[in-house]
């Protein structure tokens, strides 16, 4: 379970997150964390159906792709990503980039980060940072669809495609979260 000061790392996307304020700390209103992203690190293209995301660069430079365009953010600059806006970012500056991310409402975002980062450390994610196993990917995608989804495909379509994978994955013993990845219980 995420807690203020807790650290998780993803060797694939080259990120280290330190939680500053968790959903529990803010009664679900906000998740705030610091990201240290090594050169070559990235966050793949995605969108948040109902959450707003605010990114403030502390040091280094991030390259954002958002709203069909690209822009760089340097130290002291901030970008707000509104719900349903497709976005991705990369650290192409040759040094670590450090930035603060705020996601509101928090929903289950911290749990999703713990799971994906945990799977990455176990070698169970692909070069894009997504679970290699399609059933594992489906059950996680279904469980966290309010937090993160694919842009350009209506949510109702994504849910219809992912639901059978999630159901089959659950029948075969896959879960959307595991205690070894920071969750308190093993139940789906």
Kindly list the domain boundaries of the chain, sorted by start residue.
7-107, 110-181
Q: Locate 114 and state its tokens.
A: 């713990």
Q: Structure pTM?
A: 0.90
Q: What is the mean pLDDT of the chain?
A: 93
Q: In what order do the strands lie in the sheet with 7-10?
A: 7-10, 15-21, 31-37, 97-104, 52-59, 78-81
Token pair for residue 59?
């040091």
Confidence band for 181, pLDDT divided at 50, 70 and 90: low
pLDDT digits (tens, 9 = 90+) for 34-69: 999 999 999 999 999 999 999 999 999 999 999 889
- The CATH superfamily label for domain 7-107 reads Jelly Rolls (2.60.120.10)
89-104 residues labelled b (16+ CB within 10 A) or e (exposed): bbbebeebbbbbbbbb
Per-residue confidence band for 9, with pLDDT thresholds at 50, 70 and 90: very high
**pLDDT confidence tier of residue 188, bands split at 50, 70 and 90:** very low
């Amino acid at each position: 379970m995420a807690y203020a000061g807790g650290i998780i790392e993803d060797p694939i996307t080259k990120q280290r997150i330190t939680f500053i304020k968790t959903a529990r700390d803010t009664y679900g209103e906000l998740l705030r964390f610091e990201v240290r992203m090594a050169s070559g690190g990235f966050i793949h293209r995605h969108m948040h159906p109902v959450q707003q995301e605010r990114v403030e660069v502390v040091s280094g430079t991030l390259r954002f792709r958002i709203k069909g365009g690209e822009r760089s953010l340097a130290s002291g600059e901030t970008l707000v990503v509104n719900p349903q806006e497709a976005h991705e970012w990369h650290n192409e500056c040759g040094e670590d980039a450090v930035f603060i991310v705020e996601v509101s409402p928090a929903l289950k975002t911290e749990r999703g980060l713990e799971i994906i980062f945990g799977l990455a450390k176990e070698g169970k994610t692909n070069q894009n940072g997504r679970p290699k196993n399609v059933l594992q990917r489906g059950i996680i995608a279904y469980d966290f669809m309010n937090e993160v989804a694919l842009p350009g495909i209506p949510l109702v379509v994504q849910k219809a495609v992912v639901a059978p994978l999630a159901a089959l994955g659950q029948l075969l013993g896959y879960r959307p979260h595991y205690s070894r990845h920071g969750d308190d219980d093993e139940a789906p």
